[in-house]
Amino acid sequence: MKQNIQIETEMELELELATFYRNFVAHYQKVALNFESISELENEVDRFSRYILNESNTLRFHDWQTTQMRPPSIVPALADITAKCVKLMEVLRAKRLILGEQTDTTYFQNIEHCIQEEFGQFEITSNDTVLLVGSGAYPMTPIQIAKETGAKVVGIDIDAEAIDYGRQVIEALAPNEPIELYQTTVDQLPQIKDVTHVIFSSTVPVKYDILAQLYALTGPNTVVAMRYGNDLKSIFNYPKRDTNPKQWVCVDEVIQPDQIFDIAVYQKADIARGS
Ligand SMILES: C[S@@+](CC[C@H](N)C(=O)[O-])C[C@H]1O[C@@H](n2cnc3c(N)ncnc32)[C@H](O)[C@@H]1O
């Protein structure tokens, strides 16, 4: 009897995740053809964010993983499609801003709130240079950091459209702040040696490969804030991974029960161990 209830609960969870996946694929295709239907996608993302932050869903997901000894097989596909959807939402948010309109969604409020807490003890000062990997079409993080700390911020993105809109958003919201955006990779960035703090957007799939690459490119005291989501949060974020312990060591974790992603703070191994 108990086992039947458990099987039903697990099937329910799989069905809910599969439904989110199907809805996101349909919304993405619709919005890519016609931006007018963006509000349906925004509502779905808000529903999805609330689902992730619901404690009983977190417990159900945890039980599923414990029993099956692996996450539900749909998780990587769900993380991929939601990353694409959020990217599209940022483009539209940028377009609306350029047209003088506003976008209010729980998703964006959530992200913007998280930015305050990124580095824990490794505070950013006006003498620092912050690199954001995956700056997006609506670069909220660079704008908030530059305004709040006076630090120089460099954002990079693989997507030319994201850089183009990102520059227009900065011109509109923070024209006098020291923010630069480039469509480039970390190994091609001339300022890389000046970088003191790095933030990874949670929806960059290869973020841990880029972190490994940064080891040889950055100075000894560089600190990294890696946004990630494990367990239920991994349906909307790429998860935390192990690093080469001779390179980067996780020195702090900012777990945010009310936010859609958490943050792992890394330092170079010899500095973290005080040698
Ligand atoms: C949703 S967005 C941005 C985050 C948000 N605007 C912020 O300020 O926190 C994620 C961005 O990461 C970019 N991205 C994905 N893979 C990347 C990579 N390998 N290198 C750089 N950017 C990447 C995407 O093109 C997308 O614009």
Ligand 1 nearest atom to the CA of residue 138, by list position: 6
CATH superfamily of 120-272: Vaccinia Virus protein VP39 (3.40.50.150)
Read off the pLDDT of residues 218-265 as tens digits, 9 standing for 90 and up. Answer: 999 999 999 999 999 999 999 999 999 999 999 999 999 989 999 999
Ligand 1 nearest atom to the CA of residue 203, by list position: 10
Burial of 180 (0-12, 13-18, 19+ CB in 10 A): middle
Res 41 pLDDT > 70: yes
Read off the pLDDT of residues 193-216 as tens digits, 9 standing for 90 and up. Answer: 999 999 999 999 999 999 999 999
Res 3 pLDDT > 80: no
Rounded to the nearest angstrom, the distance between the alpha carbon of 201 and the centre of ligand 1 is 6
Which of 271, 160, 267, 166 has the alpha carbon at shortest distance from 223? 267
Res 26 pLDDT > 90: yes
Ligand 1 nearest atom to the CA of residue 83, by list position: 1
SS (H, E, C) 29-92: HHHHHCHHHHHHHHHHHHHHHHHHHCHHHHHHHHHHHHHHCCCCCCHHHHHHHHHHHHHHHHHH
Lining ligand 1 with CB less than 6 A are: 86-87, 90, 111, 133-136, 138-141, 156-159, 162, 201, 203-204, 206
Domain ranges of the chain: 2-109, 120-272
